[in-house]
């Protein structure tokens, strides 16, 4: 057979390529091509009704002069860090707890993974009912003397309510990543630290944290990128309100494209979001290299 004329190395290389080819095809068709098309569209005026007309940099200028864009950018910024910073510490605390020998540890691990397994739309609808003025959240707060709060229709509470959901959903995922990092640390290092007289805190500070640094940096950047792309919860729960206090940047892009049919401006705003994500990725690579993974 003609296939046998090739060396083993060549055949293995082709076999590997054929395995990744479906994923590569999906990446090109549904990721790379839409990105390139959005970049091209960002230079055109297009309203879905008439053919696109080249518009130069006018879309970027219109986005920059749009006060809703700036408001949405800062809402996204507050959401990103409001969700990510608690996740960094709470997910690490959860991983440290689950890394210990607890009774029923396997069952606990299965239970805390439920938030990730649930569909995002289901999560949004369930929490919307829970945040209802007559919902379970206000009922529980009533037991400690706190009056009913219109969580999703009050400017002061709408964004914190969404942030709380983001934290609840993100902790299990990043807890798993932390747990994998903790279990990759050889036990001999901790045993050597104990022999040298180190206590639990000193062992955590001088052994666990330095060896876990690449994982910590990975979690930090991934949580920021994940929070930056939030869209479904504001769409389902608040529709960007009240008064734009939960209109994150992806929702602004969606609104500009499909409510106002300004596809070119929406594409330009998405390019700004992409540039921000790309800058965060570069920061991640730089930090990982400093963390010794180069």
136-158 per-position pLDDT tens digit: 899 999 888 888 889 998 889 99
**Other Cβ atoms within 10 Å of 196 Cβ, number:** 10
- Whether the predicted pLDDT of 292 surpasses 60: no
Question: What average pLDDT does range 32-44 have in this prediction?
Answer: 92
More confident residue, 6 or 171: 171
Question: What average pLDDT does range 59-79 have in this prediction?
Answer: 93
Helices (runs of H) and strands (runs of E) counted in the chain: 15, 2
Q: What is the pLDDT of residue 207?
A: 87
CA separation (Å) from 289 to 73, 112, 158?
29, 32, 39
CA separation (Å) from 83 to 72, 132, 219, 222?
16, 22, 12, 12
Which tokens sit at 5?
């004329």
More confident residue, 111 or 208: 208
Q: What is the pLDDT of residue 119?
A: 83
Angle between helices 249-258 and 67-98 in degrees, nearest 10: 140
Q: Output b/e per residue, 63-95; b: 16+ Cβ within 10 A.
A: beebeebebbbebbeebbebbbebbbebbbebb
Q: How far apart are CA 234 and CA 211, in angstroms?
A: 37
| The model's pTM | 0.85
Q: Are 108 and 98 in contact (CB under 8 A)?
A: yes
Q: What is the pLDDT of residue 178?
A: 92
Altogether, the residues listed in the chain come to a count of 294
Q: What is the pLDDT of residue 291?
A: 57
Task: Give φ, ψ of 53 to 5 degrees.
Answer: -120, 130
Q: Are 175 and 111 in contact (CB under 8 A)?
A: no
Q: What is the pLDDT of residue 3?
A: 62
Q: How far apart are CA 32 and CA 51, in angstroms?
A: 23
Q: How far apart are CA 112 and CA 261, in angstroms?
A: 42
- Give residues with Cβ within 8 angstroms of 202, minimum separation 6: 193
Q: How far apart are CA 210 and CA 203, in angstroms?
A: 10
Which tokens sit at 173?
């995922």
- Whether the predicted pLDDT of 294 surpasses 50: no
CA separation (Å) from 120 to 33, 101, 117, 127, 182?
26, 32, 9, 11, 28
Q: What is the pLDDT of residue 81?
A: 92
- Whether the predicted pLDDT of 110 surpasses 80: no
Q: How far apart are CA 166 and CA 93, in angstroms?
A: 17
* pLDDT one-digit tens code per residue, 76-95: 999 999 999 999 999 999 89
How far from the centroid of its chain's Cα atoms is residue 284's Cα?
14
Q: Residue 53 belongs to what H/E stretch?
A: strand 53-54
Question: What average pLDDT does range 14-40 have in this prediction?
Answer: 91
Angle between helices 209-228 and 263-288 in degrees, nearest 10: 180
Q: What is the pLDDT of residue 146?
A: 84
- Whether the predicted pLDDT of 163 surpasses 70: yes
Average pLDDT, the chain: 87
CB neighbour class for 270 (10 Å; exposed up to 12, middle 13-18, buried from 19): buried
Q: Quick one: pLDDT band at residue 22, thresholds 50, 70, 90?
A: very high
Q: What is the pLDDT of residue 80?
A: 92
Q: Quick one: pLDDT band at residue 213, thresholds 50, 70, 90?
A: confident
Q: Among 84, 75, 120, 137, which Cα is nearest to 236's?
A: 120
**CA atoms lying within 13 Å on the CB side of residue 261:** 7
Q: Is 149 left (phi over 0), alpha (psi -120 to 50) or beta?
A: beta
More confident residue, 248 or 195: 248
């Amino acid at each position: 057979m003609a296939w046998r004329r090739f060396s083993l190395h060549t055949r293995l290389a082709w076999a590997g390529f054929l395995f990744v080819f479906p994923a590569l095809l999906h990446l090109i068709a549904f990721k790379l091509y839409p990105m390139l098309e959005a970049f091209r569209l960002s230079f055109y005026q297009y309203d879905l009704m008439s053919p696109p007309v080249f518009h130069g940099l006018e879309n970027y200028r219109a986005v920059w002069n749009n006060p809703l864009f700036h408001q949405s950018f800062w809402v996204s910024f507050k959401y990103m860090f409001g969700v990510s910073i608690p996740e960094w510490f709470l997910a690490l605390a959860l991983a440290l707890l689950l890394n210990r020998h607890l009774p029923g540890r396997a069952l606990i691990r299965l239970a805390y993974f439920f938030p990730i397994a649930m569909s995002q739309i289901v999560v949004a609808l369930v929490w919307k009912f829970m945040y209802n003025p007559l919902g379970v959240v206000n009922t529980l707060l009533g037991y400690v003397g706190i009056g009913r709060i219109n969580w999703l229709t009050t400017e002061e509470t709408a964004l914190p309510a969404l942030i709380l959901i983001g934290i609840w959903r993100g902790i299990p995922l990043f807890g798993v990543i932390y747990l994998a990092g903790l279990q990759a640390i050889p036990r001999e290092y901790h045993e050597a630290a104990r022999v040298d007289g180190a206590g639990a805190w000193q062992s955590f500070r001088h052994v666990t944290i330095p060896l876990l640094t690449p994982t910590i940096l990975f979690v930090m950047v991934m949580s920021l990128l994940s929070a930056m792309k939030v869209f479904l919860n504001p769409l389902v729960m608040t529709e960007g309100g009240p008064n734009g206090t939960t209109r994150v940047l992806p929702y602004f892009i969606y609104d500009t494209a499909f409510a106002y049919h300004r596809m070119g401006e929406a594409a330009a705003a998405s390019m700004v979001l992409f540039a921000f994500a790309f800058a965060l990725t570069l920061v991640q690579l730089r930090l990982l290299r400093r963390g010794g993974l180069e």
